[in-house]
Structure 1
Amino acid sequence: MGGVEPEVEYVEVARAESERGELVLRERRPVDGGPSALELRANGVFVMDTLEVSTERAMAQTALALVEDPRAVVVGGLGLGFTMHEVLADSRVEKVAVVEIEPAIVDWMRTGQVPHGPALLADERVTVVEADVAVALQEGRDATYDLVLLDVDNGPGYLVHATNAALYEAPALTHARRVLRPGGALVVWSAAPSPELEAALGEVFGAVEAQRHDVTLQEREEEYWLYVARA
């Protein structure tokens, strides 16, 4: 039998509108006094929170283990900063380009509405690029990075914005491969298996590995997937 979900209240921390719709940062407070968490939602869709961050960390750890010398890393999607945090924890990393399309998310991190944000963005290795990551990859220089991590949506089957679909198709993935140095790797996060993404990665990279990760999210057992391709 499933357990009873705890009663919670929500307190809005920040709200913003862009051409892509509405972003809301809110605090989730269990009425019974359990741990609170910040939660990011886009157009009413849950994106991530500060309580269950194991998949963000697993994504970074998996990627960093793939490359012997991951000096330069692209993180597609700033979110609440946990993927970037894990990348920065690796002393081999010398440069991290974080690409985020929503200026409000960058502002919330910089101003401390996400409390750990200012310290993360103050790291001298970090460059924040406010852009569509697909465009940024297209404009990037050849063989510049050792790792590209794409954590932009809840995966190609659960897009935050419909226009993001192109990021998971062969042309954009080809740009990602082009900016990777020989031996580099691309890692893509997905909330569910995606045969279409696996096929597109196979077309561009020749081989791809799908890794399942089991997590507990707001009292529910969930599974997430990492798609790994090597240059």
Structure 2
Amino acid sequence: MGEAASVVERAVTARGELVLREHAGHFEIISNGVFLMDTRAGASERLLVRAALDLLRPGGRVLIGGLGVGFSLAEAVASALPAEIVVVEIERTIIDWHRRSLAAYSAHALDDPRVRVVNEDIVTWLRRTGEVFDAICLDTDNGPDWTVFAQNAALYDTDGIALLRDRLAEGGTLAIWSASAAPRYADRLAAVIGPVTAHPVAVSRGEPDMVYLARRGGPGRPGRAG
């Protein structure tokens, strides 16, 4: 039999129970008994940010939706390009874990002076803020077709895409992580924001993860990149 998982920390939040557990040398985040993510891979989460940074001007502002186990934030702080990195995370518990058990996985980024962490629901915050970003990287869910919280569905419909577009500077990039291909969502991105490319990332089992990039500008049609 394999090694059993051990609970490192447990918390009850407004959205239910969050558990951080360790299994075979890796950490896992469990929400209400459902596995969310772990520290075993992270290639597609890093690509989410790296692809957006490839289009970022020096001194640009980056927004990351969702802290998770920290792969996206670690990729952002590894670059000298961003002048400011704003992370919006709804769970204070997860933010606190990144000051302890998960600090190494986010490259101790919470101590980086360029990083500002906002503890708020991403949809609520986007509607309230007037801030504009050169890159927005969303890793709040398992994709447009599988949201962690029901209210997050508002991020992926036409109005939600328009809200994200309005928080992008002209020529800015929206990067979306998805656990599977979502071609209809890509069509909506192209119609509302601009040209779209799809970047598949192979995983050990099942269909590839997918990163969608939409560049704010003229109308475009979905494309595919390796």
Q: What's the TM-score once normalised by structure 2's chain length?
A: 0.88
- Structure 1 distance, partners of 2:202, 2:29, is 21
Which of 181, 200, 210 is 1:225 aligned to? 210
- Structure 1 distance, partners of 2:59, 2:30, is 31
- Structure 1 distance, partners of 2:195, 2:94, is 34
Which of 58, 67, 74 is 1:85 aligned to? 74
SS at match of 2:54: helix
Contact map agreement 1:138 1:172 (CA 8 A) in 2: no
The superposition leaves residues 47-66 of structure 1 with CA deviations (integer Å, 9 ceiling, x where unpaired) of 22112111111111111112
Residue number in structure 2 paired with 1:38: 27
Structure 2 residue 19 is the aligned partner of structure 1 residue 24: yes
* Range with greater deviation from structure 2 (59-68 or 145-154): 59-68
Q: CA deviation at 1:222?
A: 4.6
The superposition leaves residues 145-164 of structure 1 with CA deviations (integer Å, 9 ceiling, x where unpaired) of 10000000111222211221
Contact map agreement 2:57 2:81 (CA 8 A) in 1: no
The superposition leaves residues 53-109 of structure 1 with CA deviations (integer Å, 9 ceiling, x where unpaired) of 111111111111123336210000011111011011110111000000111101111
Contact map agreement 2:48 2:72 (CA 8 A) in 1: yes
Q: What's the TM-score once normalised by structure 1's chain length?
A: 0.86
More strand by share: 1
Structure 2 residue 131 is the aligned partner of structure 1 residue 146: no
* Range with greater deviation from structure 2 (220-229 or 74-83): 220-229
Which of 33, 40, 45 is 1:51 aligned to? 40
Gapped regions of structure 2 (runs ≥ 5): 217-226
- Structure 1 distance, partners of 2:117, 2:44, is 22
Runs ≥4 residues deviating over 6 A: none
Contact map agreement 2:126 2:163 (CA 8 A) in 1: yes
- Structure 2 distance, partners of 1:179, 1:37, is 35
- Structure 2 distance, partners of 1:137, 1:224, is 25
Which of 158, 161, 165 is 1:173 aligned to? 161
Which of 116, 131, 134 is 1:127 aligned to? 116
Query: Percentage identity across aligned positions?
Result: 39
